[in-house]
Structure 1
Amino acid sequence: MKITFYGAAGEVTGSQHLVETERHRFLLDCGFFQGHRAESREKNEHFLCDPKDLDAIFLSHAHIDHCGNLPGIYKAGFRGPIFCTPATAEIAEIMLRDSAKIQAEDARYLSKHIKGSHPPFEPLYDEDDVEMVMKRVETLEYRETHELDRGIKVTMYDAGHILGSALMRFEIEDEGEIKRLVFTGDLGRRNMPLLHDPFPLQGCDILIGESTYGNRTHPPAPDVKHHLERIIHEAFKNKGKVIIPAFSNGRTQQVVYYLNELVNENKLPSVPVFVDSPLSNRLTKVYERYQHLLDATAQRTLMDDDNLYHFPGIRYVQSREESMKINDLDETCVIIAASGMCESGRVTHHLAQCVSDEKNIILIIGFQAQHTLGRKLVEKQKYVKIFNKEFPLRAKVEKINGLSGHADIVDMKWWYEHLAGDEGINHTFLVHGEPDSAQALAESIRDICNESPIIPERGQSFEV
């Protein structure tokens, strides 16, 4: 068996891993490279494997760095099946259509602003390509074993990362020997709201495992309900607004879930809550359809409340006109809007209206990359630039840490040690992590590996 790493090797983007046996060639994930425009474009345009020769693609989950280039590989000639869970299939289609829309908007903008004889910018794919590739999708339920042709079986288990995310265990017959290969995709955390803990597999010959936070420990999951209750009461007292920039997939649904609990417990004043993101709204409908996949705590809540994402006072905003009217409100309200790092989307309009009023509170609930507006708010800079205009930052800025959906070193060690059991793991490849994180994880799990863990570089191949 030969494994070649084409993405998320020494980095945390562009997840793509090729597995080749004497009879099969399949890809684990087909993610978008994200980063500097020119470099990412080059990687996303050119596949290092031949898409026409692939038998299948197995998709771990629907984050863009794992699924984002499925339409691109279809355009390049791939015509095999794409296997994933039903929830991942629905979320992936929404995310890919949104990606195609953003690419079209970017291409129009760049084409207008290029200088000289540069050819027009073109999107990597469009919505027609998304529609065609989604026809290749075949869904597998958790713990349902699927036999792909002769000599290869796959079973998917809950990874606990986002709704529908999957750990994959393959049983592969190659040269007369059965080998057990496990691919983690992105491994989730234990004891987080809504989602199950990652399913503890046991027994593995070959591991392709993520290492995103292999060198750090997350702070304990915060008492988000308590923070939300306190912040909303403070804003209500001051007649201000609460602005919550939130990622559309996962983080928005977490916040709404907590607000629903607070409303049911009569712990909040009567204030309207606006979820102002068409993408978040579409994704929340998927979460509603798959509430049966949520954890035991959510299931107990569902016994008394048939929908975790609806409560008196919440409104899911669709049109731009509705969104603009929120800014005219002269009363306390909660506005949850994308994007999570405040760089684009409707949240930027709300921030422009609210950032200079000391009555308002901006609640940051996710990681903010360097140089983003979200990071500048967290740093409480005196002035922030929105729409190329400087605004004094007078609103109160609060931050809740510890809501990451990725396992940290403690959860990774727990899961990898359980996987190794008494036999150990013969071949371990650590991917989806910066070099420092991957190296730290390699050191911490070395004693459960029969051979030293390998941190592959992009394009490297290994015979196992």
Structure 2
Amino acid sequence: MAVIQSFGAAEVVTGSCHLLRIEKGPTILVDCGMFQGTVEDRNDEPFGFNPRDVDILLVTHAHLDHVGRIPKLVKEGFVGRIVTLKSTMDLAEVVLLDSAHLMLEEYQTRFRKAQRRGAEKSVKEPLYTPDDVEAVYDLPMIFVKYDEPIEIAKDVTATFRNAGHILDSATIELDIVEGGEAKTLVFSGDLGNHNDMVMPDPVYVKGADALYIESTYGDRNHKGIQESVAEFKEVVVNTLLNQGNVLIPSFAIERTQEILCILKQMYDSRELPTCQVFLDSPMAIRATRLYDTYHKELSRQCNNYLKRDGTIFEFPYVKYTLKPEDSKKINDIESGCIIIAGSGMCTGGRILHHFKHRLWNEKNALLFVGYQAEGTLGRRIINGERHIRIYHEEVVVRASIHTINGFSAHADQSELIDWMNHFDNLGKIFLIHGEYDKQRIFRKVIEERMGKKAHIVAPEENIYL
């Protein structure tokens, strides 16, 4: 009998990692992501299983909380096959190398300080290095295409469906024949928002004996996209006309591209005041170029831009700042800037430097356009914290704070219910990838609106198919 255990994204949002053991068959891992926010210390803990025992790693998409511990998995003994879309591994390389460089830089800084105290042994080594990331790409990989079933092991077939979340994100269907009995297990991955300007809508799935579904926004519905875009435009225009600057902590993948699309629309319609738009994130710049490369997977609007302009996301006001010295020069500009920088949850990256230089000025605006996990600086600011420490310096938060949830790359409660209602046959429902209190709300809504019971998966709980 097949059994599933979740070693991440169980009663929390991040750290997606689900182990499927098939009796007399392969051991399959679905995602191996990094924990973020209040649970990030769990990244250093043992996996809870032996990486050497894993035969196949399936990857739903390239967000850090779904791929961020793959180098650690390899470092600790995984030598199996990776099965996913090629663009996902291309994007994952950008994400993982960025993560590795940041961890290495932080380690080196702490080590130098510890040396002066004679306490080198107290400094924790990075989870992995750029070399460990490169080792991932030495493993055998099978690249799939959407909607084309592929036999990944005897009596196990995988089909990847477009989840509409980020570039080439996937819902994974696993058809398993065990003891002469066929069963279908579906992992939703992260499902996209139907109002996304860059990505197509998620593809519906026909049936599942067991469904593992994300529940990040299972407790609420997003604002309408038109309302969200209008609010975004108002903040941007008013701040620029007031001689201020707009700071946008943005996830490098999908959210950055969507924000660039909106700003390009504003430029086309002459709604955007004369300004300078800085994409100040090497990772986001590389990711944006990959979006251009794999443009056929994007929305019709994106492909229309490409046909018209030869580029999807660029327009005359946009400037890419790859080098640190170019990023620092932005500080010399007093007003008229829109600065899009990582990290999306303000846990590191160049956005912190811009906070230090601009967050204290009441003319400026801080515009959150993505999810902020518990324990992150972004969530603390949203919750009202008005004095924060950045690089050992206290900074007062005087800039206006705005949160726009309608741009979420995740489906909201109604969209998750709608997606499940399109199953012709749906067996057991298991909730993962969500905060526990929100999952309880979602579980109740599923029962009321679908007449079905859902189970909240506990960490390492054995679920038998």
Kept in 2: contact 1:272–1:334 (CA 8 A): yes
| Aligned-pair CA distance for 1:58 | 0.4
Deviation, 1:371, is 6.0
Identity across aligned pairs (percent)? 35
Match of 1:84 in 2: 84
- Aligned match of 1:149: 153
Q: Secondary structure at the match of 1:445?
A: helix
The alignment partner of 1:192 has SS state of: coil
Task: Say yes or no: does 1:445 pair with 2:449.
Answer: no
Tell me whether 121-130 or 232-241 shows the greater mean CA deviation: 232-241
Which residue of 175, 182, 195 corresponds with 2:199? 195
Residue in 2 aligned with 1:8? Answer: 9
Which residue number in structure 2 is paired with residue 32 of structure 1?
34
Query: Which residue pairs with 2:64 in the alignment?
Result: 64
Given that residues 213 and 437 in structure 1 are in contact (C-alpha distance below 8 angstroms), is that contact kept between their aligned partners in structure 2? yes
- The answer to whether structure 1 residue 135 and structure 2 residue 138 are counterparts is yes
Query: For 1:313 and 1:33, how far apart are their aligned partners in 2?
Result: 36
Query: Could you tell me which amino acid in structure 2 is paired with residue 59 of structure 1?
Result: V
Q: Name the CA distance, whole Å, in 1 between partners of 2:149 and 2:365.
A: 49
Match runs of 1:267-416 below 5 Å: 267-369=271-373, 372-375=376-379, 377-378=381-382, 383-416=387-420
Shift of the 328–63 alpha-carbon distance from structure 1 to 2, 3 Å rule, reads: same
* Displacement of 1:188: 1.8
**Could you say what the CA RMSD is over the residues aligned between the two structures, in angstroms?**
2.6
After superposition, what is the alpha-carbon deviation per residue over 1:297-337, rounded to whole angstroms, capped at 9, x for unaligned? 33344443332211112110011111111221245222211
Partner in structure 1 of residue 266 of structure 2: 262
2:430 matched to which residue of 1?
A: 429
The answer to whether the 8 Å contact 2:151/2:158 transfers is yes
TM-score with structure 2 setting the length: 0.90
CA distance in 2, matches of 1:30, 1:418: 28
Give the deviation of 1:375 after TM superposition. 4.4
Q: Deviations along 1:354-408, whole A, 9 cap, x unmatched?
A: 2333433332323345565444554666554433333444434433232222222
What's the offset of the Cα at 1:67?
0.8
Q: Is the 8 A contact 1:424 1:450 kept in 2?
A: no
Q: SS of 1:148's equivalent?
A: strand
> By how many angstroms is 1:165 displaced?
0.9
**1:195 offset after TM fit, Å?**
1.0
Q: What's the counterpart of residue 220 of structure 1?
A: 224
Partner of 2:247: 243
Tell me which amino acid in the other structure corresponds to 1:18: L
1:340 Cα deviation after fit: 2.4
Residues 1:220 and 1:149: Cα distance change in structure 2 (over 3 Å): same
Distance 1:270 1:216, change over 3 A: closer
Contact 2:193/2:410, CA 8 A, preserved across alignment: yes
- Cα deviation digits, residues 110-142 of structure 1 (max 9, x gap): 444567684542222211111111233332121
1:48 is aligned to 2:48: yes
Q: Distance in 2 between matches of 1:172 and 1:312?
A: 52
1:331–1:107: structure 2 CA closer, same or farther, 3 Å change rule? closer
Distance 1:181 1:106, change over 3 A: same
Counterpart residue identity of residue 34, structure 2: F
3-state SS of 1:439 partner:
helix
Letter in 2 for 1:201: V
- SS of the aligned residue for 1:204 comes to strand
Contact 1:3 1:462 in 2 (8 A): yes
Q: Which amino acid aligns with 1:457?
A: A
Runs of 5+ in structure 1 lacking a partner?
Answer: none
* Shift, 1:194, TM fit: 1.0
Mapped contact 1:373–1:385 kept (Cα < 8 A) = no
Structure 2: how far apart are the matches of 1:47 and 1:131? 21
In structure 2, C-alpha distance between the alignment counterparts of 1:217 and 1:117, rounded to whole Å? 49
Q: What's the CA shift for 1:96? A: 0.9
Out of 132-141 and 95-104, give the one that drifted further: 132-141
Partner in structure 2 of residue 121 of structure 1: 124
Quote how far apart the aligned CAs of 1:350 are: 2.2
- TM-score, L = length of structure 1: 0.90
Distance in 1 (CA, whole Å) between partners of 2:273 and 2:454 is 53
Q: 1:392 to 1:169 in 2, by over 3 A?
A: closer
Counterpart amino acid of 2:455? I
Per-residue CA shift, 1:261-289, capped at 9, x if unaligned?
12222332332211111111111111111
* Structure 2 spans left out of the alignment, 5+ residues: none
Shift in Å at residue 346 of structure 1?
Answer: 1.7
Paired amino acid for 1:326: I
Query: 1:96 is matched with which residue?
Result: 96
